[in-house]
Copies of this chain bind each other. A is one copy, B any other.
């Protein structure tokens, strides 16, 4: 899932470390998120959208998985 966390963070002039503290997650979590290593939990997605004053849909781009069924 694509996301705009990095863009938003930078628009807010924050470091990864600052962001991680505000969201109460580890810096690793932010790094991995921005790198697209994994998807956030819905809790983290909500926290991010609140902080950046946007919707989850604005921040994360969902594309249907190619269901191999």
Contact = CB atoms under 8 A, between A and B. Distances in A.
Contacts of A1: 42-43
A interface residue count range (under 10 / 10 to 19 / 20 to 34 / 35 or more): 10 to 19
21 contacts: A1-B42, A1-B43, A24-B69, A39-B42, A39-B43, A40-B42, A41-B41, A42-B42, A42-B56, A42-B60, A42-B62, A43-B65, A45-B45, A45-B56, A46-B60, A50-B62, A55-B55, A55-B56, A56-B56, A56-B57, A57-B57
Given A24-B69, A41-B42, A42-B45, 16 more contacts: A1-B42, A1-B43, A24-B67, A39-B41, A39-B42, A39-B43, A40-B42, A42-B60, A42-B62, A45-B45, A45-B56, A46-B60, A50-B62, A55-B55, A55-B56, A57-B57
